[in-house]
Amino acid sequence: MHPEIDRFAHLDSLVHRWDPRWKLACLFLLMLSMGLERPGTRDHPSWEADLPPALGCLGLSIAIVLLARLPFAVVLTRLRGVAWFLGIVLVIFPLTYPGEKIVIGFVPVSSTGFLVALLMVLRAFSILLLAIPAFGTSRFDVTMKALWRLRFPAPLVQIILFTYRYVFVYWAQLRRMLIASRARGFHPRPDLRTLRVAGNGLGVLLVGSIERTQRIHGAMKCRGFFGTFRTLEEFRTRFADVALFSVILGAGVLLLLWRLL
Amino acid sequence: MTAAVSVSHLSYTYPDGRNAVTDVTFTVEKGEAVGVIGPNGAGKTTLFLLVTGLLSPEHGEITVCGKSYTERDDREVRRHLGFVPHETEDQLFSATLFDDVAFGPLNFGVPREAVRARVEEALRKVGLSGYEERVPHHLSSGERRRAALATVLSYEPDVLVLDEPSNDLDPRGRTELVRFLRATHQGRIVASCDLEFILRTCDRVLVMDSGRVIAGGTTIDILCNRSLLDAHGLEVPLGLRGRTSDQLRELLEAEG
């Protein structure tokens, strides 16, 4: 269990106890439905028709996060990077959107542009909020095995699991290389030499990773690997899994109908 | 009786033209422990890569429990060998220790209901019970070394092929490994520069240098041959210096 990636996996809640396959299927479908927009919204968005369902989606996502008993402050911290980006969208769209504009101070602003941006931001936040209970309420490796059980391609699952296993090994190696270079008097500066040293370091990591890949493949072959992904992880469907799936997805379908019709 | 491992006139040259192994011949009987010693670059690791079928020899033949490597499916041969490489980070490639230790048994067709028990038993043998959910990256180097051994113990191979197994172990871990290797019924081929470890775990020793087997004999006889060791970049451990073969035998018997 990784202390940062699997930080919330040990908590106890309805969402944590949910069979990961049903959880992933439900939350993925919900994310997909939230990504859809009413035809014509981009050109003629309406405060009355588009804003309440978008707020409803956000409310549903917040409800699921609360149901998972995830600490909301930490969840928001994880979304901080995206929030900056979405904040820029909220500024740029009203200023650049074509059509009728109102002047605030000296600045011409499009209220339609603001609404389009607001709807995008609400939709993005709703989807991103769902990603945290989807991936953070089971151990990462269990989530990946659940994806595989949902017919996600095995090579892709294995690549993600290898990345999860080795990204920290390479990160540690990079840090050791930085310490070693500093110990020998190297200080990064905005010059060509620093770029050359950084390039050499990345090259060493890349070549090392290719050799490591070959050694790992050898170790796998020695233990009988012949291209088939196997796991002992067993998933069992209970009535509660299907019930939770139906309730949450049902709410999602209602929201979708509200937005589209 | 079929030997556990039989290697006959084995030779291998790397693509850069370096002769890594030249005309090596030896056998390991079932349950026997054979040490392979030699200086760095002697060809010990390459020999192990050949024995485990990860490299294909230019010349020579390898049989493991009477079976040879074929291009079609090497699993039948490999299930008899438990290879633990020198670099343990490569042996522990799964997201959790449980998955790593279960990897071999699942691939070799051990019934699923038996795998869990095998994993627990293997982890118990190496003193890592309760570590099932740990990410291998967060283990100490000594724990990783023991975990790497558990990954092969779980499918119960006939022969353990261990490359520098005592590296990274603290004195207690090393003593426990010695105790385990002396108690196990499995055959062992152990490459190490740690001659005291070899003395305590192996019945017989092959001395390798420049890709060739220079000498072979009982561990005690080889370790008492100071001129042979000196000539090939090896050194008798300080605690064993000046002791005769009989004294070494008594020392080992006293250790049980």
The C-alpha angle A133, A135, A137, rounded to 5 degrees, equals: 55
Instruction: State whether A244 and A184 are in the same domain.
Output: no
Report the CATH number at residue B44: 3.40.50.300
Reported confidence tier of residue A1, pLDDT bands at 50, 70, 90? low
- The more confident residue out of A41 and B175 is B175
Any domain includes A145? no
Using alpha carbons, list the distances in angstroms from residue B111 to A223, A232, B51. 16, 11, 27
Number of domains composing chain A = 2
**DSSP 8-state class, residue A59:** H
Instruction: State whether A133 and A242 are in the same domain.
Output: yes
Instruction: State whether B209 and B92 are in the same domain.
Output: no
Residue A32 sits in which domain range?
14-138+236-260
Instruction: State whether A187 and A103 are in the same domain.
Output: no
Residue of B nearest to A161 (CA): B95
Report the pLDDT value the prediction gives residue A42, as an integer from 0 to 100: 67
Tracing tokens 């901080």 back to the chain, one arrives at A80
Report the pLDDT value the prediction gives residue B256, as an integer from 0 to 100: 64
Q: Answer whether B73 sits within 8 Å of A216, measured CB to CB.
A: no
Closest CA to B128 of B117, B120, B137, B116: B120
Using alpha carbons, list the distances in angstroms from residue A116 to A119, A123, A133. 5, 11, 27
CB pairs < 8 Å spanning A and B:
91
Q: Which two tokens stand for residue A1?
A: 């269990």
Any domain includes B176? no
Give the pLDDT means over successive 10-residue stretches in chain B (256 positions): 90 92 95 94 94 93 89 82 93 94 94 94 94 90 93 96 92 90 92 92 94 93 89 83 79 74
Query: How many C-alpha atoms does A93 have within 13 Å on its Cβ side?
Result: 18
Any domain includes A197? yes
Instruction: State whether B104 and B221 are in the same domain.
Output: no
Any domain includes B119? yes
Q: Answer whether B137 sits within 8 Å of A165, measured CB to CB.
A: yes
Task: Convert the pLDDT of each residue in A82-116 to its tens digit.
Answer: 899 999 999 998 898 887 888 888 888 888 889 98
CB of B46 less than 8 A from some CB of A = no
Contacts of A216 (CB under 8 A, 6+ apart): A162, B90, B93
Contacts 24+ apart (CB under 8 A), A202-206: A204/A177, A205/A170, A205/A173, A205/A174, A205/A177
Contact between B79 and B32 under an 8 Å Cβ cutoff? The reply is no
Contact between A110 and A101 under an 8 Å Cβ cutoff? The reply is yes
Any domain includes B171? no
Instruction: State whether A204 and A99 are in the same domain.
Output: no
Residue B131 sits in which domain range?
87-156
Tracing tokens 């499916």 back to the chain, one arrives at B73
Report the pLDDT value the prediction gives residue A78, as an integer from 0 to 100: 86
Instruction: State whether B71 and B110 are in the same domain.
Output: no
Instruction: State whether A80 and A191 are in the same domain.
Output: no
Bridge-based pairing of strands B5-13 and B19-28 is: antiparallel
Any domain includes A144? no
pLDDT at A188 over 90: no
Closest CA to A54 of A2, A110, A113, A125: A125
Calpha distance A204→A193 (Å, rounded): 16
For residue A1, give how far its alpha carbon lies from the nearest alpha carbon of chain B (Å).
Answer: 6
pLDDT at A44 over 80: no
Instruction: State whether B226 and B195 are in the same domain.
Output: yes
Instruction: State whether B15 and B71 are in the same domain.
Output: yes
Instruction: State whether B66 and B100 are in the same domain.
Output: no
Contact between A225 and B107 under an 8 Å Cβ cutoff? The reply is yes
Q: Is the dihedral of CA B62, B68, B74, B77 positive or negative?
A: negative
For residue B197, give how far its alpha carbon lies from the nearest alpha carbon of chain A (Å).
Answer: 24
Bridge-based pairing of strands B59-64 and B5-13 is: antiparallel
Query: What is the model's pTM?
Result: 0.85
Calpha distance B79→B232 (Å, rounded): 34
Lowest mean pLDDT among A23-27, A160-164, A255-259: A255-259
For residue B215, give how far its alpha carbon lies from the nearest alpha carbon of chain A (Å).
Answer: 29
Any domain includes B175? no
CB of B14 less than 8 A from some CB of A = no
Any domain includes B95? yes
Instruction: State whether A26 and A56 are in the same domain.
Output: yes
Calpha distance B224→B230 (Å, rounded): 11
Q: Answer whether B75 sits within 8 Å of A164, measured CB to CB.
A: no
Instruction: State whether B233 and B195 are in the same domain.
Output: yes
Instruction: State whether A42 and A126 are in the same domain.
Output: yes
Instruction: State whether B66 and B120 are in the same domain.
Output: no
Q: Which two tokens stand for residue A243?
A: 């019930």
Report the pLDDT value the prediction gives residue B72, as an integer from 0 to 100: 65
Q: Is the dihedral of CA B122, B125, B130, B131 positive or negative?
A: negative
Residue of B nearest to A208 (CA): B90
> Which residues of chain B make contact with A165, given a CB cutoff of 8 A?
93-95, 135-137
- The more confident residue out of B102 and A168 is B102
For residue B248, give how far its alpha carbon lies from the nearest alpha carbon of chain A (Å).
Answer: 36
Instruction: State whether A57 and A169 are in the same domain.
Output: no
Number of domains composing chain B = 2
Instruction: State whether A210 and A255 are in the same domain.
Output: no
Any domain includes A201? yes
Q: Answer whether A224 sits within 8 Å of B75, measured CB to CB.
A: yes
Instruction: State whether B67 and B128 are in the same domain.
Output: no
Using CB atoms, which residue from B75, B95, B102 is nearest to A140? B95
> Which residues of chain A make contact with B103, given a CB cutoff of 8 A?
220, 223, 225, 230
For residue A78, give how far its alpha carbon lies from the nearest alpha carbon of chain B (Å).
Answer: 23
For residue A155, give how far its alpha carbon lies from the nearest alpha carbon of chain B (Å).
Answer: 14
Instruction: State whether A120 and A166 are in the same domain.
Output: no
Instruction: State whether A46 and A99 are in the same domain.
Output: yes
Instruction: State whether A65 and A134 are in the same domain.
Output: yes
Any domain includes B180? no
Instruction: State whether B49 and B109 are in the same domain.
Output: no
CB of A211 less than 8 A from some CB of B = no
Instruction: For residue B160, report the phi and psi dihedrals to the nearest 5 degrees.
Output: -95, 130
Residue of B nearest to A220 (CA): B91
Q: Answer whether B106 sits within 8 Å of A232, measured CB to CB.
A: yes
Any domain includes B37? yes
Contact between A137 and A23 under an 8 Å Cβ cutoff? The reply is yes
Mean pLDDT of chain A, nearest integer:
90
Task: Convert the pLDDT of each residue in A108-164 to its tens digit.
Answer: 888 888 998 999 999 999 999 999 999 999 999 999 999 999 999 999 999 999 998
